[in-house]
Structure 1
Amino acid sequence: MRPLDPRLLKYASATRGTLAAGALLAVLRTACVVAFSWLVTDVIVRAIAGEDLGSLGGTLLLLAGAVAARGLLLWATDAVAARGGARAVGQLRERLTAAIGKLGPGWVARRSSGDVTLVAGHGMEALEGYFAGYLPQLVATAVATPLLVLTIGWADLTSGIVLLVTLPLIPVFMVLVGWATQAAQKRQWRALSTLSSGFLDVVAGLSTLKLFGRQHRQEARIREVSDQYRVHTMKVLRMSFLSGFVLELVASLSVAVIAVTIGLRLLGGSLDLSVGLFVLLLAPEAFLPLRNVGASYHAAAEGMEAADRAFAVIEAADGVAEPVAAPGAPAGDGLVFEQVNVGYDGRTVVDGFTADVPPGVLAVLRAPSGAGKSSLVGAALGFVPAEGRILAGGRADADGRRGAIAWAGQRPGLVAGSIADNVALGDPAPDGAAVAEALRDAAVGELDPATELGAGGTGLSGGQAQRVAVARALYRLRTHGCRVLILDEPTSALDAATERRLLASVKRVAEQGAAVLVVSHRDAAAEAADRVIAVEAEEVSRVR
């Protein structure tokens, strides 16, 4: 792990202000340390010379002021680091969630939800330790240590040379211990990720496990993974204590070498007491920032491992190019595909797809499984890279298309909360009447909007969850002024009667002026459609 990852400055601009403020405070604290050491030296030397307490009063007041100023600066450093760190972590979490949104549901579906949640949640929280503990010490090392070395060298050249020879030993040991710590931290993070994902999978499938009487078999697995995480955590702690011991030992021996040389020269009369005492007071302070960096490194390692994973997600999103519309005039407020190509890993999934769904039309897209139906929906939403021209509501850019589309995917994507919260998801001021209307039009009006759901929408049947997702799309269509409605397999879990009710509602939505595209292989959907877009697999999916 690099001491300061430059990507932090790029993705969390608050880091720059935190660094600047920390550097200024480090200079002021160093000045207080030098003043404190000089004042203490002056008081001791003058007291040994026989001066009374009255004559030392002014110096003692200055000494008390230096102590108070140093304490105030330490408090200010902690406050700046905590507040700046909170802002930086917030910015990084915002960039992470925006990147996940840009990569889209397809990217999330190919990864463990537990791992993504772990990075965005616990990982970002662990990064606060980096800003609150490690970063201030790193800045202090970069600023205070050179200033103190120069001050000691100016006061006593011999001690300065000894300091320059012994000081690099601490970074050398820090690097050696840091390599081992980084490897152990990666293993600990993998164990935590495995534990998190496994536990979430067990919770999600607990009803199925209980149904078949296999819930108790998961206890051993969770216990085993938890024990692995405990073992890796204890290894990291052992390395932390070991590195702390090594750094303290090296620093103590280095200060002892300086003290011995000063003592011998004082006995020989070649060094003045005031100079020797001043250097002795400053020498431990020169090593202190490096020792603190080593001690706080381990607390920051977990957060930086999470940050590294967050950077990978953000950079992956940055690498997704926005689709560029081919030249041509906008084609109204409907949904338009013109020569659209979609591919993954060098394989073309959709090749040269062209279709037009004008306002007021209910169109059904029919194609065999694997022919790219969901890929076309993802391309329309801007979640899947595509070539060609896609328009939604007259907009060609991905953000503009997403703003014009109300969408319900194959997975309901419900969250813990009330049904009303799920229907009005993301709306800061939900409209209760619109929620109830959307539920009725989605053929699920019998549900109470106040009913609380568990994680993933537990408490509803598969068909009910599917229709609540459709209600969410209808709510968005009406309250956000969307011009296009896309439903991906909305009736796959419904019986024939409920399917007819839902399709009738969707038909009315189209008649009210929306461009509606339903992706479905069901005959009932095709019969209700104004336009059927039927694509053969060999026409849509070809391997180049």
Structure 2
Amino acid sequence: MRPLDPRLLTHASAARWFLLVGAVLGLAQTLTVVAFAWLLSQSITLAVDGGSFESLRTTVAALAAVVVVRAVLVWLLEVAANRGAAAVKSQLRAAVLARLAERGPDWLAGQQGARVATVITSGLDALDNYFARYLPQLLLTAIATPILVLVMLWQDPASGITVIIVLPFIPIFMILIGQATQAVQRQQWDALQRLSSGFLDVVGGLATLKIFGRDRRQAARLAELTDEYRGRTMTVLRVSFLSGFVLELAGSLSVALIAVSIGLRLVEGSLLLGVGLFVLLLAPEAFLPLRQVGAQFHAAADGLAAAEEVFTILDDEQPNRPVPAASAGGAPSARTAPPARLRFDSVTIRRGETTPIDGFSQDFAAGRLTVLSGPSGVGKSTLIGALQGFVPFDGTLFLGTDAVAVDDDRGWLAWAGQRPGLFSGSVSGNVALGASVIDEALVTTALHWAGAGDLDPAHRLGVNGAGLSGGQSQRVAAARAIYRCLAVDCPVLVLDEPSSALDEDAEAALIGGLRRLTDQGRIVIVVSHRPAFVAAADAVVRLNEVAHV
């Protein structure tokens, strides 16, 4: 683990801004430390020598002003650190979410969802401690320590040489302690991710576990993971306290060594009182940043461990894929006339050593309801993934007479998948997901066309759409795609198994709504094996036969 990962500066411009501001504030703070030590030593010397009240008052006033300035600088550095942490977290989260969208569901399906979620949320939150406590001390070590050592060498070469000899021992202790801290911190991070994954898995399958009487066994498993995480946390705390004690002891002995040397020379008369006090006041400040870097190293470990995984996601080389359009909202497209067709021309999709789609060529005409059918596993959803830009393919995709570029943003496409993907909030907010302004009239229209006219747009949903049945959730998802189709004027609408949980009446209402879209000259594609959709279709494309009926 590097104290400052260069990738942090590459992926988050706010980190560069913080380093610049922190360096300026660190330099100013170092100058106030030197001024404080000098003025305090002069005040004591004047008082011992019986100096005039006027000269003493002037020195004390200047000392008070320096104390105030130093306090302000410390506050400004803390403010900059907190704001820098917030900006860096925001930029990293935006970058990794964009990267996940670019990779698509195929890549994400091969990852642990809970692990990725933990990294992006609570993992990156640990960067607060890194920026607020660790990085400022790292900056002060790079700026303040060399300056203070040079001032000590200038005023008292013997003390300066002593600091130069003793100072390297602290980094040696830091390296040894850092290795131990890094190991236990990584174990704690792994334990947290196992706990998060286990908890989310249990919550997701709680109903099934309850039915089969397995809920208590999973409760015991979660308790075991919790105890493991608690133990790892206590290990981290023990190492942290030990590291702090060792570094404090090393720093205190180093300062004591300088103090003894100065005291002996003051008694001997070979060193002036003012110089001795000045150097003695600077000695702890020269060691302090380095000691704090070691003491705060554990505070940086969590954030850097999470950032390491974020950088792995961002830097992992994958084929370039376009970012798909959102399911609602966005700026209207520049389409002046609806395209006459959507065409797959010799499209081949490979999955490792298998080829689920081989040389697929098909036209999907405007103003027609086309059903994509076939047995499970034949590649229907894979083909839709290629249409969305999630799945790389060989061949060409045409919209009208124009080939769809690899980096096309799919602004012409509205889509709803097999999983509704609903969120906490109102029904209208879920239907108009992504829209800057919700058109309530359009929400009502979309719900009616999706066969969900009985739902109240103001009805509040819980987490993951709690409060709706499976069929209602499906219809809200279909309404979301219809809303986007109408709001952004998308020429192509794709629904993947939109009626698997619907009864006959709801399915008929949805088919009627899709008919209204085809009447507007749109290309409507439905992946379905339901007899009602197959019967209502203007064209049926059976992937196992690649026949057009």
Same fold (TM over 0.5): yes
Shift of 1:524: 3.4
One-letter amino acid of the structure 1 residue matched with residue 458 of structure 2: A
Equivalent position to 2:369, from 341, 362, 370: 362
Q: Is the CA contact 2:321–2:407 (under 8 Å) kept in the aligned structure 1? A: no
Q: What is the CA deviation profile of residues 105-142 of structure 1, one whole-angstrom value per residue up to 9, with x for unaligned ones?
A: 33333333322222222122221221122111111111
Letter of the aligned partner of 2:537 in structure 1?
Answer: A
- Partner SS for 1:55: helix
Q: Note if contact 1:380-1:392 (Cα within 8 Å) is conserved in structure 2.
A: no
> Aligned ranges for residues 134-533 of structure 1 at < 5 Å?
134-316=134-316, 319-322=318-321, 332=339, 334-345=341-352, 347-392=354-399, 396-397=404-405, 400-533=408-541
Matched residue type, 1:230: R
The answer for the alignment partner of 1:32 in structure 2 is 32
Distance in 2 between the 1:347 and 1:172 partners?
Answer: 54
- The alpha carbon displacement at 1:410 in A equals 1.2
**Corresponding residue SS for 2:370:** strand
Write the distance in 1 (CA, Å) between the matches of 2:153 and 2:386.
Answer: 65
Which residue of structure 1 lines up, in the alignment, with residue 79 of structure 2? Answer: 79
Matched letter for residue 449 of structure 1: P
Q: Identify if the C-alpha distance between structure 1 residues 395 and 461 changes in structure 2 by more than 3 Å, giving closer, same or farther.
A: farther
CA offsets, 1:175-210, max 9 Å, x none? 211122112112111221222222223223333334
Quote the residue 2:62 is aligned against.
62
TM-score, scaled to structure 1 = 0.92
What TM-score comes out, normalization by structure 2 length?
0.91
Q: Secondary structure at the match of 2:376?
A: coil
Aligned to 2:21: 21
Match of 1:48 in 2: 48
**CA offset digits 1:56-96 (Å, max 9, x no partner):** 22111111111111111111111111112211211111112
Kindly state the Cα deviation for residue 168 of structure 1 after the two structures are TM-superposed: 1.4
Give the counterpart letter for 1:121 in structure 2.
T
Contact 1:488 1:518 in 2 (8 A): yes
C-alpha displacement at 1:213, in angstroms?
4.5
Deviates more, 1:78-87 or 1:527-536: 527-536
Alpha-carbon separation, structure 2, partners of 1:401 and 1:299: 41
Matched with 1:542 is: none
Q: CA deviation at 1:331?
A: 11
AA aligned to 2:21 is A
Deviates more, 1:340-349 or 1:503-512: 340-349
Residue 472 of structure 1 deviates from its aligned partner by 1.0
Q: 5+ residue gaps in structure 2?
A: 323-336
- 1: distance between equivalents of 2:238 and 2:16? 33
Structure 1 residue runs without a partner (length 5+): 324-329, 540-544
**Alignment check: 8 A CA contact 2:103 2:318 kept:** no
Paired residues, what number?
533
Q: Deviations over 1:370-428 (max 9, x none)?
A: 23221221122122233332245757246644311110111111122222222111222
Q: 1:362 to 1:401 in 2, by over 3 A?
A: farther
Q: From the superposition, tell whether residues 243 and 346 of structure 1 become closer, same or farther in structure 2 (CA, over 3 Å).
A: farther
CA distance 1:59–1:312, shift in 2 (3 Å): same
RMSD: 2.5
- The amino acid that maps onto 1:69 is V
In structure 2, C-alpha distance between the alignment counterparts of 1:356 and 1:102, rounded to whole Å: 26
Q: Is the 8 A contact 2:367 2:520 kept in 1?
A: yes
Query: Are 2:321 and 2:390, in contact at CA under 8 Å, matched by a contact in 1?
Result: no
Does structure 2 retain, via aligned residues, the 8 Å contact 1:368–1:537?
Answer: no
Assess if the C-alpha contact under 8 Å between 2:36 and 2:67 holds in 1. yes
**1:238 & 1:395 partners in 2: Cα distance?**
62
Q: How far, CA to CA, are the matches of 2:364 and 2:141 in structure 1?
A: 63
Partner Cα separation in structure 1 for residue 405 and residue 66 of structure 2? 60
Residue 208 and residue 450 in structure 1: after superposition, are their counterparts in 2 closer, same or farther (change >3 A)?
farther
Indicate conservation of the 8 Å contact 2:396/2:403, yes or no: no
Matched, 1:95 2:102: no
Are the structure 2 counterparts of residues 180 and 395 from structure 1 closer, same or farther at C-alpha, using a change threshold of 3 Å?
farther
CA contact (8 A) 1:152 1:282 kept: yes
Partner of 1:327: none
Q: Which amino acid aligns with 1:250?
A: A
Q: Secondary structure at the match of 1:142?
A: helix
